[in-house]
Amino acid sequence: MEQPTGWRKSRYSSNNTACLEVGRIQDGAAVRDSKDRAAGYFTADRAQWSTFVAAVKAARFQQ
């Protein structure tokens, strides 16, 4: 399995303790908990990742 590269955390989460990191894979992205990196990560292909990002931008996950 391909290992993600270029892990990064949003600059907006510098003072937040509940952060995710995003890494690159060939056909999409990988996501992990920045406080528990040993727990692993999940991946999404390009289409899945684009759909997720669009939903976040549209505030579909707001309570």
Q: Looking at residue 3, what DSSP letter applies?
A: P
Q: How far apart are CA 4 and CA 20, in angstroms?
A: 14
49: enclosing H helix or E strand: helix 46-57
Buried b (16+ CB within 10 A) or exposed e, 38-59: eeebebbeeeebeeeeeeeeee
pTM, full prediction: 0.76
Q: What is the distance, to the nearest Å, from the Cα of residue 34 to the centroid of all Cα atoms in its chain?
A: 10
What pLDDT shows up at residue 6?
95
> pLDDT-derived band of residue 35, with 50, 70 and 90 as boundaries?
confident
